[in-house]
Chain A
Amino acid sequence: MEENLKWLWYAFGAAWVIHILYVATIASRAKDLRGQLDNLKSLLKDQQEKAG
């Protein structure tokens, strides 16, 4: 009984760790992209001002 309970916890633990890690990667990728987008937009603005 206790031996089998261990496997149940492993399975549910692993399942939720995978889901939580995935949500964390989405948040991290979104943060990186927002940073890149802000940099690119300011670069574009500078180029447009130089071009007149």
Chain B
Amino acid sequence: MTEAVSTKPDKLTPVLAVASATLVVASLYLIFVWVPTENSMGIVQRIFYFHVPSAATSWVAFIIGGVAAIRYLAIRDGRLDDLSVSCNEVGLVFCIVNLVTGVFWAKPIWGIWWAWDARGQSAMLLAVIYIGYLILRQSVDEPSQRAVVCAVVSICGMIDIPIIYMANRWWRTQHPAPVIGGGGVDARMGMVLAFTMVALLVLLWYLVRQRRKLAELQRETEGVRRMVHALG
């Protein structure tokens, strides 16, 4: 028999929706009104408060997706594949936001849309890996085979995360040297950065829950379709 999608009333999702919307609005207030303007770059530096937390949120999502993929390979529970694809797809959205905000920051500051430096390229590679992951999911029909192949890609994708993090330490890049934790950020700037990070993590949690419901629905539909084909 197919596994039916849970019909239990979901109390957490509306709470997460309200919490993420409230936190995001509060973070926008802090970014646009409360935090002081940085001296050298001026107002455009405020992109930093969204650019950096978007990258970090995508890494959290890809790591959870990768860990779920490892668990899937160990115990072959379809719900772990649902969690993995949900985290990876939502992580890709945050990764694209990170790349797009980076482009709009690079143009006025560096005078170019895209710097072909190690951090930028490794961040773009991460997006390409997970776009490939989603294309692969569409191209394999058999659910357990698809889950295994995608779990392997998901685990390999995680390898790029420490490379992105270390890129501006290992190589000379257009990106600046690390400022977080090195005393390079004003206390209020650090506070806004941390607040936005929390807001985006709550948003991630909400989006992953929504995406998981879709994955469960997809699994149930595939199960019923197989039964129809078997009887027909």
Contact = CB atoms under 8 A, between A and B. Distances in A.
Interface of A: 1, 3-5, 7-8, 10-12, 14-15, 18-19, 22-23, 26, 29-30, 33-34, 36-37, 40-41, 43-44, 47-48, 51
Interface of B: 28, 42-44, 46-47, 50-51, 54, 90, 93, 96-97, 100-101, 104-105, 107-108, 203, 207, 210-211, 213-214, 217-218, 220-221, 224-225, 227-228, 231-232
Contacts of B100: 11, 14-15, 18
A37 B221 contact: yes
Contact of A19 (B43, B97, B220): B97
A32 to B, nearest CB: 10
A12 B50 contact: yes
Given A40-B228, A48-B231, A15 B54 contact: yes
A41 B12 CA distance: 29
B228 A33 contact: no
A22 B108 contact: no
Contacts of B224: 37, 40-41, 44
Contacts of B50: 11-12, 15
Most chain A CB neighbours (cut-off 10 Å) among B207, B220, B224: B224
